[in-house]
Amino acid sequence: MELRVENAYYREGAPKRDLRAYIGTEVAHYQVQRNGSLRLLSTQSMKERPRDQPPVQSLMQPSIRRYHYHRFYFEVLFKRNSSARGSVVLGAGSPAELDRLSEQLFVDPDSVCNDRSTHCTVFPHDCSVSVEANSTPPA
């Protein structure tokens, strides 16, 4: 399996989600390894990505990639900002820990996915994240 992350980019300093300011996307592909960790397979980068917007491969926290168990959520609504919705990847060291984090995510997403969390990556609203089957066996 692979995780595909595609992030939209806009002219530097321009408001997000303004089609007139849209300049393109970057894509990162992560492969699920035999041990469950996520390995960055490839990136498709823009030639001149705006300096005020991070590269797509930096959107996934490095700590998440090392965990052996992951769970992907297409969209999570956060209470701290009732309009904030984003795709989420949880990472854990065991199935039991992943189940506990998932249960906690449903009850109080902000307690699991916050600035101090090493178990959660929340992707920006303008970022599309999807799970894809691949034909290449994991390393």
Over the stretch 75-108, which tens digit does the pLDDT of each residue have?
A: 665 555 554 567 899 999 999 999 999 999 888 8
Q: What is the residue-averaged pLDDT of the chain?
A: 86
Same-domain status, 5 and 19:
yes
| Tens digits of residue pLDDT in 17-30 | 778 889 999 999 99
What is the model's pLDDT at position 85? Answer: 64
Same-domain status, 67 and 118:
yes
Q: Give the residue numbers spanning the domain of 41.
A: 1-57+126-139
Same-domain status, 19 and 44:
yes
Same-domain status, 65 and 112:
yes
Are 87 and 127 in contact by the 8 Å Cβ rule? The answer is yes
Side chain identity at residue 80, one-letter code = R
Are 27 and 5 in contact by the 8 Å Cβ rule? The answer is yes
CA dihedral defined by 89, 92, 95, 98, rounded to 10 degrees? -50
**The overall pTM is greater than 0.85:** no
Which residues, 6 or more positions from 42, have their beta carbon under 8 angstroms from its beta carbon? 28, 29
Are 126 and 8 in contact by the 8 Å Cβ rule? The answer is yes
Same-domain status, 98 and 73:
yes
Same-domain status, 91 and 131:
no
Percentage of the chain modeled with pLDDT above 90: 43
How many structural domains compose the chain? 2
